[in-house]
Amino acid sequence: NAGVMQNPRHLVRRRGQEARLRCSPMKGHSHVYWYRQLPEEGLKFMVYLQKENIIDESGMPKERFSAEFPKEGPSILRIQQVVRGDSAAYFCASSPDRVGEQYFGPGTRLTVT
Amino acid sequence: GQQVMQIPQYQHVQEGEDFTTYCNSSTTLSNIQWYKQRPGGHPVFLIQLVKSGEVKKQKRLTFQFGEAKKNSSLHITATQTTDVGTYFCAGRKGQNFVFGPGTRLSVLP
pLDDT (tens digit per residue) in B8-34: 999 999 999 999 999 999 899 889 999
pLDDT for position B2: 62
Query: What confidence tier does A92 reach under pLDDT thresholds 50, 70, 90?
Result: very high
- Round to whole Å and give the CA distance between A92 and B42: 10
A101 touches chain B (CB under 8 A): yes
Query: What confidence tier does A8 reach under pLDDT thresholds 50, 70, 90?
Result: very high
Closest partner CB to A104 (pick from B43, B92, B102): B43
> Phi and psi for A102 in degrees, rounded to 5?
-105, 135
CB contact under 8 A, B48 and A59: no
- Round to whole Å and give the CA distance between B33 and B57: 14
Query: Is the pLDDT higher at A109 or at B30?
Result: A109
pLDDT for position A111: 97
- Round to whole Å and give the CA distance between B20 and B97: 22
Averaged pLDDT, B72-80: 98
For A58, name the nearest residue in chain B, comparing CA atoms only: B96
- Round to whole Å and give the CA distance between B29 and B47: 15
**pLDDT(B65) > 60:** yes
DSSP character at residue A83 = -
Contact assessment for residue A90 and residue A38, using Cβ atoms and an 8 Å cutoff: no
Sign of CA dihedral B84, B86, B90, B95: negative
Contact residues on chain B for A45, CB-CB shorter than 8 A: 96-99
pLDDT for position B3: 86
**pLDDT(A15) > 60:** yes
Contact assessment for residue B88 and residue B7, using Cβ atoms and an 8 Å cutoff: no
List the one residue out of A98, A45, A90 whose CA is nearest residue B2.
A45
List the one residue out of A107, A59, A111 whose CA is nearest residue A85.
A111
pLDDT for position B79: 97
Distances (CA, A) of A31 to A34, A104, B41, B50, B83: 10, 12, 22, 20, 29
pLDDT, one tens digit per residue, over A47-81 is 999 988 999 999 999 999 999 999 889 999 999 99
Contact assessment for residue B87 and residue B106, using Cβ atoms and an 8 Å cutoff: no
Query: What confidence tier does A1 reach under pLDDT thresholds 50, 70, 90?
Result: low
